[in-house]
Amino acid sequence: MNITIENILLIGSLLLFISILAGKTSYRFGVPTLILFLLVGMLAGSEGIGGIYFDEPKIAQFIGIVALNFILFSGGLDTRWKSIKPILWQGISLSTLGVLITAVSIGIFAWLITNFSLMEALLLGAIISSTDAAAVFSILRSKNLALRSNLRPTLELESGSNDPMAYFLTIAFLSLVMNPEDTVWSIVPMFFLQITIGAIAGFAFGQLSKIIINKIRLGFEGLYPVLVISLMFITFSATDAIGGNGFLAVYLCGVYLGNQNLIHKNTIIKMFDGLAWLMQIVLFLTLGLLVFPSQVIPVVGIGLAIAAVLIFVARPIAVFLSLSFFKMKFKRRLYISWVGLRGAVPIVFATYPLIAGIEKANLIFNIVFFVSLTSVVIQGTSLSAVAHWFGVALPSSEKKLSPVDKILMDESKSHLQEIEIPEGSIAIGKMIVDLKLPTGAIIAMITRNNNFITPKGDTILKENDILLVLTEDRSNFLLVKNQLG
């Protein structure tokens, strides 16, 4: 079947509908939702029952980049500084040193067992070196898996922040394959330049975005998520244009905004959560359409060997070496090693050699596809079981909470009390978003002239308003009271 302007919406919406229905029932059988999206794409593809011919790596890459922006930005918005602060350096070590060790380990192994040159093998290793944010976020959150200590924020921080390193290594080794006269040392300055510019740009655009979101008066709540989408793409493209790592900038911008007071913040976060799911589905469907199963079958042997080394050797070595600077129990390191899911991101990165037209690009793509599929099937279906085997999952008795407890835990708040705005308060006439309340404090409700008002970021406070304030502890509450007094 050929995709035309007349039937593209029908085909796309049917594939999306089928994927959602498949995902709804997948967890009954312990199958990760993302695998179902991928299989739906393959079944609809040129060698499947749908017969849709799609062999456009450039289009797939473009869709992949757009989808990764949404996925990384949404993951950043959901990241709480309080939860990642204790494990920040562990996450950074995993997402940089861990990725590098994985790439080199797989590259050397592939070089030994295939006819790849060393640089081609290292390119393959770089492409599959990072864990997949879409896979880790969706599987951990869909399974509602409660883990001991700081394991979950560590895993989510790693998966959200290691794509930039893998992207850099992919582009770097691809350039070395295409320019054999260059040396490995030539990519070192490029690495520091990309990461430094990406980090600075991420925080700078985050601060600028906060000012724009809070100061602009759009008049319609629904326009704010649209504004944030435009700011997200500006962050990525502008950072990339000045030589920085756009993926890193987008993630850091999301982390910054997620920990600030923003107008209509809940609306923005909910919208991006839905868009991230949509992008995951579209991304996996597209990659499923792009693959030709008949071309994957011949690489099954090599793929299984590389997948086995990746899961049982390279990933554990990378985790144990990159975490050797920190105190952590042995079983927790083992579990982090196991949650090294590959998914859509390596397949997207595998389109870069295809577009560059290097000799073994098609072989690399099919190996990466098979390894990613194997990783999600083996590791993704066993996260809960392995967590219990290693003793890192919280007992069910510790997870049973009342609805109120869940709300309070989710927002990490524990102190609820009223504050009245007195005459002469500096808060009078100010918008809530401009109050600069302490992190961990929110205004849950406002009583004004015996009427209840649902507070928003642009709500202007008036004299004698009674605020219902929710804070993490009493000390934070006293800070808010003094600030509003």
Q: pLDDT at position 213, please?
A: 92
Q: pLDDT at position 138, please?
A: 65
Report the chain's mean pLDDT, rounded to a whole number: 84
CA distances from 417 to 12, 454, 474, 478, 480 (A): 50, 16, 10, 10, 11
Q: pLDDT at position 128, please?
A: 93
Q: pLDDT at position 115, please?
A: 92
Q: Measured between alpha carbons, how far is 255 from 110 in angstroms, rounded to an integer?
A: 36
Q: In the numeric block, which tokens belong to residue 166?
A: 């893998």
| All residues at 6 or more sequence positions from 417 whose CB lies less than 8 Å from its CB, including other chains | 468, 469, 477
List beta partners, residue 448: 451
Provide the CA 21 distance to its chain's centre, in angstroms. Answer: 23
Q: Measured between alpha carbons, how far is 34 from 344 in angstroms, rounded to an integer?
A: 9
Tell me if 187 sits within 8 A of 175, measured CB to CB.
Answer: yes
Q: Measured between alpha carbons, how far is 405 from 400 in angstroms, rounded to an integer?
A: 9
Would the CA dihedral through 463, 468, 474, 479 be positive or negative?
A: negative
pTM of the model: 0.79
Q: Identical fold at 8-397 and 403-484?
A: no
Our CA dihedral for 35, 147, 250, 171, rounded to 10 degrees, sits at: -60
Q: Domain 8-397 carries which CATH code?
A: 1.20.1530.20
What are phi and psi for residue 451, nearest 5 degrees? -110, 145
Provide the CA 124 distance to its chain's centre, in angstroms. Answer: 22
> Tell me: the pLDDT tens digits for 322-346?
999 988 889 889 999 998 888 778 8
Q: pLDDT at position 407, please?
A: 42
Q: In the numeric block, which tokens belong to residue 472?
A: 């993490």
Q: pLDDT at position 464, please?
A: 83
Q: pLDDT at position 113, please?
A: 93
Q: pLDDT at position 377, please?
A: 84
CA distances from 482 to 23, 262, 420, 426 (A): 49, 22, 11, 11
Q: pLDDT at position 226, please?
A: 94
Domains of the chain, by residue range, sit at: 8-397, 403-484
Q: pLDDT at position 24, please?
A: 61
Q: pLDDT at position 342, please?
A: 84
Q: pLDDT at position 352, please?
A: 94
Tell me if 159 sits within 8 A of 132, measured CB to CB.
Answer: yes
Q: pLDDT at position 263, please?
A: 85
**In what side-by-side order are the strands of the sheet with 415-420?**
415-420, 466-471, 441-448, 451-453
Q: Which of 205, 186, 294, 210 is nearest to 252 (CA)?
A: 205
Q: Measured between alpha carbons, how far is 253 from 261 in angstroms, rounded to an integer?
A: 14
CATH architecture of 403-484: 2-Layer Sandwich (3.30)
Low-confidence ranges of the chain (pLDDT < 50): 29-30, 399-413
| All residues at 6 or more sequence positions from 18 whose CB lies less than 8 Å from its CB, including other chains | 40
Q: pLDDT at position 225, please?
A: 93
